[in-house]
Amino acid sequence: MQEIRDNIMSILGNIKDVCMRTGRDPDSVTLIAVTKTIDPDRINYALECGIRNIGENKVQELTAKYASVEKNVKWHLIGHLQTNKVKYIIDKVGLVHSVDSINLAREIDKRAENAGLVKDILVQVNVAQEETKYGIEYEEIDSFVEQLSMLRNISVKGLMTIAPYYEDMEMVRPVFRMLKEKYDMLAGANIPNVEMRHLSMGMTNDYEAAIEEGSNMIRIGTGIFGARSYNI
């Protein structure tokens, strides 16, 4: 467990270093601990170490762990969300990162309305157009966001992407840069119901480059909990 604490401290140190270099406030970068395959004991330990945001990529895993995790935490749904599973997470998740279709957005809107709340969401963008990844195309962002702006019970809070994996972290920069450009454009566009507050990009392998390119929300799994074993 001590390892988890050391890892968190080292990542927070790296965030601080990058922010110092680039003239940003380290507190402006939100660290999400990605807890997929991690048991509640280890999650709760990470919370003791100061983690306030956790991310799960599967609805079933999230709901299974939900009651066993301490309450002083914000849950993020970071993986692909099927329309028929929205009802299970609507009252549990603070931010849905993976909105990638109008049908999904409408379902979240409907469930949020029934629950009497407005759900914060991010638009997932497949910047590098990878076959294996979810997300809308870069060229579709404007029209998609415009459609979302009409839904009253969701609030668009930013953009998210999962960058391609490159051995050389430098290769990934253009992906981050493109999304930051769009984020800034939308921030200045004054679209009702649309506010650019979170730019969710950067994982264990590439978070420093992501922050350098303007990310303010990073999602770290392996870097905190070590390599995952997928047998729970």
Ligand X SMILES: *Cc1c(COP(=O)(O)O)cnc(C)c1O
Number of residues that bind ligand X (CB under 6 A): 14
Q: Stretches 20-28, 65-73, 99-107, 202-210: which one binds ligand X (CB under 6 A)?
A: 202-210
At 31 the three-state DSSP class reads strand
Task: Map the footprint of ligand X across residues 99-138, applying CB under 6 A.
Answer: none
CB of 114 to ligand X, least distance (A): 27
Q: Stretches 9-17, 66-74, 105-113, 220-228: which one binds ligand X (CB under 6 A)?
A: 220-228
Among 11, 31, 34, 69, binds ligand X (CB under 6 A): 34
Largest CA distance in the chain: 47
Q: Stretches 127-135, 143-151, 172-180, 217-225: which one binds ligand X (CB under 6 A)?
A: 217-225
Strand partners, 156: 121, 194
Confirm or reject binding of residue 218 to ligand X (CB under 6 A): no
Residue from 141, 125, 142 nearest 133 by CA: 125
Strand segments (E) across 24-148: 30-34, 53-56, 74-77, 95-99, 119-124
Among 57, 153, 161, 216, binds ligand X (CB under 6 A): 57
How many angstroms separate the CA atoms of 218 and 33, rounded?
9
How many angstroms separate the CA atoms of 176 and 122, rounded?
16
Among 203, 209, 211, 217, binds ligand X (CB under 6 A): 203
Confirm or reject binding of residue 162 to ligand X (CB under 6 A): yes
Residue 157 near residue 122, CB atoms below 8 Å: yes
Confirm or reject binding of residue 60 to ligand X (CB under 6 A): no
How many angstroms separate the CA atoms of 186 and 208, rounded?
24
Confirm or reject binding of residue 221 to ligand X (CB under 6 A): yes
At 206 the three-state DSSP class reads coil
Which parts of this chain interact with ligand X (CB under 6 A)?
Answer: 34, 36, 57, 78-79, 162, 203-205, 219-223
